Structure 1
Amino acid sequence: MTDIIRSAPQGCNNGALMDHFGVLIQGVLAVVAFSTLMLKRCREPKEERRPWKIWFYDTSKQAIGALFIHFTNVFLSDLTEKDPCSLYLMNFLLDATLGMLVIWICVKIVSVIVERRQSTLLVFGEYGDPPQAAAWLGQCVLYLVIMVVEKTVITLVLLFPGWTKLQAILLNYIPNPQLELVLVMLVVPFIVNAIMFWVVDSLIMRKYKKMKRDKSLETTSSSNSPTYDDESQVLLGSASDHYRSYE
């Protein structure tokens, strides 16, 4: 035990993120992250659940964006000659903090542009009635463009001096490279991704419920309007008949 504590700190070897153990950890991460969304859907009230197609369209965009960020971080981390795990962790934490702000700003900008051009199929979370795959595909492309912008900003931020010192001390206290890999590629990403997926999906679901409520109100008002017209015609007809009786 004392030998482990006194041993020189070790990090992940170059290429450790994509070896057999690293790929296995990433597969486990994908399964547990997707299970979070499935668990959330199972816990939703039946009357508030989105149809499977809408749910798939919503969650798949999150999955595509997360996969793009993940593999980009793996690629960038393998470029370093030092500990790639610590560089991956820095990338991931920046993506989950500063990156989310960049994504939010980009989504707002894109939404304004789409609204001005009246491209209804490119409004995030709206796929038409009935839902169209073309709308989902267009929104996926837009979301990937936003991910590229976000990753570019984070990469530029990492070029500032000082990050190398943080990278050197971030995970050096963990003597076991495989333990470090599990912590960086499974434990931390699962916790952060689970929270992000849950929050984002809740926001998307809230928007869907609002659209559904607005649509039901429109249907109700349109169905009630002929009744009012009929009643007014009956009243007018009765009044005219009553007037004619006096004549």
Structure 2
Amino acid sequence: MSWVFSESAALGTSMIDMARVARNPRFGVSATAPVAFWGYSEGGFAAGSAAELAASYAPELPVFAAFAGAPAPDLADLARLGDGSLLGGGVGWVVNGFIAAYPQHRDAFLSVFNQLGRSVLRDVNSYCVFDVMRMLPFVPTTFYTKDGRPIRAYLDKEPFRTAVDEQRLGRVAPKMPVLVSQNRGDDVVDPLGTDRMVRSWRAKGADVTVETQHLPLFLPGTFFGHGIGMVGELRALSWLNEKAAALGR
């Protein structure tokens, strides 16, 4: 099964494992408590992956719902919109993740990067999102590659193509109801990619509710449009409460 090797599965199975650990009376949670997945942005990606994998990875868990906000279901879209943005150096996290997941292709992944690009990959290993100003903000990835092409130009070539394909959400239908939230003016997560994921899930029989924010694109590349989309979490709270209340009926 592909999830054994993919980064998306690592996020999804990690969220599921956290749910397993949390259902413990030592933490004030019943060992039989129902479970819901919740996340926004990378967390939304993790929640979407957990929703896809729960039936096969944790059939014992009573998962009743999942919320995936702006989940960035396709890394190819992220590579296009995120390039040269405030968090453009985050490409290092993705490539480092590829190297960890596919160590047999380490040299091939690294071969496209010049000295500056390799230094970014090395440095971001010790950075988090709050270190954004240390991650060469707004520098395009054309500065990182040996031939001056953006990183997205490599994504249709191996080993990048397989790595990107295996992270894509939408291939497995979640068995629980899912709420997906997305701002149409998101400057980092392409809403068209989220639309594709939703269509794929629904075509496979999933119960998917979509909450859309029509907030204008403003200061592209600054994550403003992405961050303001978090207002969708307010609707997610009430939606999850509704689903939880229905369990007792």
- Fold equivalence (TM over 0.5): no
Q: Which has the larger radius of gyration?
A: 1
Which structure has the highest strand share of the two? 2
TM-score by length of 1: 0.25
Structure with higher RCO (Cα < 8 A, 6+ apart): 1
Structure with the higher helix share, 1 or 2: 1
* TM-score, length-scaled by structure 2: 0.25
